[in-house]
Every structure is written in structure tokens, then in C-alpha cells.
Structure 1
Amino acid sequence: MRIAMVSEHASPLAVLGGVDAGGQNVHVAALAAALARRGCEVVVHTRRDDPSLPRRMALCAGVEVDHVDAGPPSEVPKDDLLPHMSAFADQLREAWSDERPDIVHSHFWMSGLAAVAAAEDLGIPVVHTFHALGTVKQRHQGARDTSPAHRIELERELARTVDAIIATCSDEVVELQAMGAPSGIVEVVPCGVDRARFTPDGPVFPRAPGRRRLVAACRLVERKGLGDLLEALVALRGTELHVAGGPDASQLALDPEAQRLRRLATRLGVADRLVLHGRISRDDMPALLRSADVVVCAPWYEPFGIVPLEAMACGRPVVATAVGGQIDSVADGVTGVLVPPR
């Protein structure tokens, strides 16, 4: 089977840790590779954000990444990409006319718009995964929501247009039904975890003697709840909070959220117990997770959340907010503890 994936802002080749590079990149890369191992031919179409990138390059055996020219060949915040989706769709239509896939799987709402626009004239079925919903983002961020003005309306239309929707958790199904998505086309397929990489045994990051360690791994954005963790750290004497995410360690001083967290830690009197590692490679992430007494995942909202799975695969207990996919993935009182957000 020939499968075309569309992931407009989240390239499977991206280096993780930036504001817009996280779980979706991991999910798309892992899913594409797994499908290839089952004998499928997979092409992942993503927007070119660097002029030096070749049009096509291999991700792994059976998977190619297609860098689509849509908008400037530079990094553009995902909330600013909507005006370029028409050009993205034109490029997809041309590619699929020459090399027709059996099915298209789009990831994130703007990818879905481009995929449907390109596929409908060619009669190619489209399966869609939202990864995040505008209604949920608006509910939690309010006036701070930087999404395009018509995102929610366009997502509702998309949910009624695609041939099938893959939700990543039961909470998302409820949200999709409220949006008007036909119930008969929605299936839950949770995100997975690489159990060959994330194991209880293996290298462990060094630890300071006599101190407990909390580990959080996430993008450096306010909604991930790192500020809430710092406030909790005040009551946890002898405990450090280690955070993986954001730019390289050498660039953290320039990162606005890293600056905010350090100011907050200083005001709370816990600056000596906050360790910002910056970007941690996928190869090194298991060692950091294994070093934790507890892995903490405290987002205000979370479409799925892969880190709890990775932590549990490493044999570490998890404290997570009871939101989105974390409600499904963390067995409260068994593999971890669920707590209210914020």
C-alpha cells in the first residue's frame, strides 16, 4: 500500500525542543516507520523550512520525506501558516497526480485542509488526526490564543469532510462529537512508545547525592505547566526539578519562557533547585527519565501526551494532570497519580 502522510509544520526530521516541534513530530516519524516495516511505501509531505533541504530525502527504509515549497523556506510559526496552505495543496495535487497514493493520512488541521483540497479531485480517501483542537485551545487560553480567527469553524468543516478520523484518546472523541463529527467515522488509536529505546535498564543521567529528582520533558511554552511545578517545588524540600526541552542549552538565555521560569524560580526561592537542560536528544532522553524519582507532566491541556508513556516504559512513576490522553494512559494509583490541572 502507498500511503501519503501530510504534516505541514511537524517534520519527522525536525530536531525536537522548539516551540512547534514536539509530540506530533515523534508520532509521525514513528508511525511512518512502523507502516514501512509492515510493507507499506510511505511519503511524508511537510513544508520546506530551510532552503538547503533537498526536495526528497529518506527517513528510513520505506519512508521518504517530501519538502513542499509553500511560503518562505524558513521557520514560520504554525499559527501563521494558514495563508500558505493553498500553495501547499497545489503542490500535493501535482505530486499525487504523478504518484498516486492509495490513502492520505493528514496530521493537524491545516494539513487536513491542504490534504482534502488536493485529494478530492483525485478521488483519494483522507484519514485525519487532529492532534489538537481549536475549541480546547480557546477554552484554556482565551485571549492568549494565537490561532487563526476561523480555526474552529474550519476544523468543524474538516471533521465533516474527511473519510475517517483517528482520535488519540477518549476525551478527544467527546470533543469531536461536540464539534459535529459523524460518530461513525471516528476511531481511537492511542499513540505508542518505542519499547526498544525506552526501557527500565540502561544508562542513567548522573544525580546529586541526597536530593530527590523530578523530571519534566516538554516544549517551553506556558501551557505545559512548568510554572505550576515550580510553585509546587517550594513545598518539596530537598527536591530538584530537571526540565528537558526548548533550544540548545547554549541558547536558553535567549528563550523567553526559560527567562520567565528562571525569574519565577528566583522569586519563589527555588532557583538553586531548577535545572533547565535545554534540548535533549531522543537518544539521551531515556537516560534522563530513568534518573527521575518521579516524572511530572503538568500541562493545562494535552491532546495525548507521549512523555507519560515513555516514562512508564522506563519504569518510572508519573504524576500527571488529568487532561486529554493522560487520563487514558496513566492508570491512577497504579502506574502513576492523576491530579487536577493548574
Structure 2
Amino acid sequence: MRPTDALDEIAFLLERDLASPYKTKAFRGALAALGSLSDEEIAARVEDGRLKRTKGIGSTTYTVIEQAVEGGIPDYLADLRERIGGPVTDAGGKLRAQLKGDLHSHTLWSDGTTDLASMARTARRLGHEYLVASDHSPSLRVANGLSTERLEEQLVEIDGLNAEFDDFRVLTGIEVDILLDGELDQSDDVLERLDIVVASVHSKLRMDSREMTERMLAGIRSPHTNVLGHCTGRLVQGSRGTRPESTFDAAAVFAACAENDVAVEINSRPERQDPPDNLIQIALDAGCLFSIDSDAHAPGQLGLLDLGAARAEANGVPADRIVTTWPADRLLEWAR
């Protein structure tokens, strides 16, 4: 196989398995070090020893490249395929096959681990028709949230990327904080220009239930909000430990989502599993739309949609009420 494909697949599988970013960085770094070299040039540099001395190529990644050049499946990749290859879960496959895109992803512009182009190309390879670039908003400084000026720069990059594709679209977006007073953490003028706005609570998650309800209702009622992201903020596993659900009046919040045509996100990250099953049922009964999203911070994590599809299917969410099963034109008409 091609050395670049081997490195990319290894990184993808490690990222999807939520391995340490330090581990995946080695393979993404080696892929970048190969740059635009042809397979023939890579083989020549293996042959004469230059590749082993190339910055960004370590002993493990060199062995992967060398074995690929020799015509085999690198041992490292073969082992990963055996252990964690295939779908993340066998459940939800029918619904997963109907998903056409992902409205929640992060890149190096905020707290993601890779550039937007890498995210887009991986999404396209997975069969997506579109991916929303939804990096964080300014107040989330710990996640390098985008100022208005930096978001403007990202929009220029998105225009350039879309010029490369004829069967895939990068949609403009943001994961905007719902601030303590319910206002969205970006100007109306900027939000008006974006294709998709995911609004989420990231701070003061343990605030009083009544106050949290009012905060969320204000964010949902903003004319710019399209999706309510990871609504409880809970963490149920993973390296960050656990965190209880925020408390709020779920009936009121989901009734507002239905009334304002705001989709409830089914967040696919295994550490979130948000909303919990009982809240999905309340949102279903309220007549809500849903969006199955990966909340990916690395290309491989785009594959976590398998988990979100499995949860949606298990909870009886109809496919046509999931906006990420819609083609891009229908999605954008709804969002507008």
C-alpha cells in the first residue's frame, strides 16, 4: 500500500480509539514530513537512507513507511486493524449509512489537533457530503476560541478548500458559547453569515436549575441557533474523569427547541453520550429534530458517528427527523 495511506490510516484508527494525542501526533507528523513527495521519491529516499534522516520521521514511522514501500501491509497497521478496525459498533448500521454529514467538528483554529484540510479530506473519504467547521467562540479561551478576525480568516480558508472539491462541501459554522445571560458569544453580524450555528453551554455547568433553564432558553430562542450542543455537559468516562449532568427543565428546553426549529444534538463522543436516553425520549415526545454529530477534534474522531447512530437507532429516532441525514441543500434551507 502507499506509505502515506498507511500513516493516515494508522492515525485515523488511533484517533477514533481516542488514543493519546502524543501518540497520534507522530504519525500525522510523519505524514506531513512526506509532504507532496511521490511514492517513487519516497521509495528512493528509503533506498538511499535519506528518509531515515528526515525531520519528523521517527523509528516507528520509518518502519511503517519502509514496510509499505516493500509492498506489504505494515505490521503496526495490521495489528491495529485486527484490534480496532471495522466499525466502532455493530449497532446502528442502517441509520449510520443514511448520515450525510457532520455539523460539529474542531480544527487547529481552536482546540483540534489537525488542520481543516485534513478534517475535510477525511470526512470526504468517509463518504460525507459535507462537514461543518464549528470551532469555538472567543470566550472559551482555554480552547483557543476564535475572535471575529480569526473567524473571518477561517472563512477565507474554507472558500479555498471548497474550490478543490466537486463532490463535497465544507460548511461555515461555529460552536458558540451560550453565555451566563443567555446571549451567544459572537456578534449577530458574524453569526448571520454562517451556515450552521451550534450553541452550547461550557461554563458554570452546576448553576441553579432554574437559572440554567433560562440561560438555555435564551440561547435556543436566538434566531441564529440551529443546534443545541451536548445539552447536559456530562462526562461519563474518559481521561477527563466524570462530570454530572447539568440540571434544567428538560420539558421546557426541548419544547423551545421544537418551537424554534432547533435540532437537539446527539453527541457521539463516548465520554459524553449526551443527551442521556431519558432526555432523548423527552425531546422525541416534544417533536424535536436531532443532529447526530461527532464533536471530532481529530480526523479519526469523525468515525465516532457510529456511536451516535447506534444510540439514536436504539432510542427510536426516525431518520427523517435527523438533520444530518438530509442532503446539504435541504440542510441549508432549514438552517436559513
What TM-score, normalized by structure 1, do the two folds share? 0.31
What TM-score, normalized by structure 2, do the two folds share? 0.31
Name the structure where strand makes up a greater proportion of residues. 1
Name the structure where helix makes up a greater proportion of residues. 2
